[in-house]
């Protein structure tokens, strides 16, 4: 499976600021995804990061709040904009997908918003 890294691993931010999270994969992958895991909850898909086009967002998530870039097949960023304490979560990128492809997860970014 691909080796996935995320930066930063954790951060503490002030409300109203923005944080950009990076996801780097050691091989080219077609599908990259961003998830949020709120404290004590399961994973919720934020969006699918598409190479060369806009990300596809799930219901309840919008581009203005969570802009995503996918400049190539090994890298993506997720920005959490105008943060509030409700954005305190673990943000995870994953790769893989499709009908039977397995998804593998990066180590996650633990975000705390004060």
Partner 1 sequence: QKEVEQNSGPLSVPEGAIASLNCTYSDRGSQSFFWYRQYSGKSPELIMSIYSNGDKEDGRFTAQLNKASQYVSLLIRDSQPSDSATYLCAVITNDYKLSFGAGTTVTVRA
Note whether 84 and 15 are within 8 A (CB).
yes
| Minimum separation from the CB atom of position 104 to partner 1 (A) | 7
Count Cβ atoms below 10 Å from residue 80 Cβ, excluding itself: 25
Does 27 interact with partner 1 (rule: CB under 8 A)? no
Scanning 13-21, 22-30, 67-75, 104-112 for contacts with partner 1 by CB under 8 A, the matching segment is 104-112
Does 102 interact with partner 1 (rule: CB under 8 A)? yes
Note whether 7 and 25 are within 8 A (CB).
no
Does 61 interact with partner 1 (rule: CB under 8 A)? no
Give the residue among 29, 32, 31, 8 at the shortest CA–CA distance from 20: 8
Point out which residues bind partner 1 (CB under 8 A). 33, 41-45, 48, 90, 92, 94, 97-100, 102-108, 110
């Amino acid at each position: 499976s691909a080796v996935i890294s995320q930066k930063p691993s954790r951060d503490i931010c002030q409300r109203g600021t923005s944080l950009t999270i990076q996801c780097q994969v050691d091989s080219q992958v077609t599908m990259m995804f961003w998830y949020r895991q709120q404290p004590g909850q399961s994973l919720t898909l934020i969006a699918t990061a598409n190479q060369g086009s806009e990300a596809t967002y799930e219901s309840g998530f919008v581009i203005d709040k969570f802009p995503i870039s996918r400049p190539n097949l090994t890298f993506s960023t997720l920005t959490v904009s105008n943060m509030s304490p409700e954005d305190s979560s673990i943000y995870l990128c994953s790769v893989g997908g499709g009908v039977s492809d397995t998804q593998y997860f990066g180590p996650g970014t633990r975000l705390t918003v004060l």
